[in-house]
Amino acid sequence: MKYERHRNCLKTGDIILCKNPKWIGRQITSLDDGAYYTHSLVVFWQSGRLFTFDSTETGVHPELASIKMKQYSDFCVVRPQKNETEISSALEKLFQYSEKGIKYDFAQILKIAIYQKTGINIFKKNNPTRDICSELAWYYTQYFPLPCYAKERLTRPFFTPNDFIRYADENDTTILFNNFL
């Protein structure tokens, strides 16, 4: 498995873009112009174990990467070009954010579908008590911030896992293990 081969190359603060081969992954692919990656996570090391920060149907939470990564058929890494202090500070903010009881935003997926199929923008101000995986990882990039992911650069009113590739800039990030660039 790719994860097992590359696990030790992952660093605290990396953003992992994952390919989910199941039904939900195929639906996300169809909503995101056929894009390859369907999920995004932020990883961190603690006591020799790799964990992910994620937003799933159970809400925003950390989880063991060795368990989480089993459900994905492929992944790549987006590594922010930030120092250890900046990464640590951003992760602390992510921990604080996750402690607020943030739930998964199922309505956001529907809004993305409507926008992608019709062009109608029904996005309003983000719900501070709801989130999806790509927005959680995007918020993390705003804690530095990473200029390539600045809100002003985005061309759509939402952020998907593949937007980490679309908007990447080699001055801000390094992309590893991606066979689809």
β-partners of residue 76 are: 17
Q: Count of domains in the chain?
A: 1
**Maximum pairwise Cα distance, the chain:** 48
* 150: CATH: 3.90.1720.10
Q: What does the DSSP 8-state code read for residue 102? A: P
Confidence of residue 56 (pLDDT cuts 50, 70, 90): confident
This prediction has a pTM of: 0.92
**Domain ranges, residue 120:** 2-176
Q: Is the dihedral angle over the CA atoms 106, 108, 109, 114 positive or is it negative?
A: positive
The CA distance from 115 to 113, in Å, is 5
Q: Does residue 161 contact residue 37 with C-beta atoms inside 8 Å?
A: yes
Residue 181 inside a domain? The answer is no
Q: Which helix (H) or strand (E) holds 135?
A: helix 133-142
Q: What is the pLDDT of residues 109-168, one digit of tens each?
A: 888 888 888 888 888 766 778 888 999 999 999 999 999 999 999 988 889 999 999 999
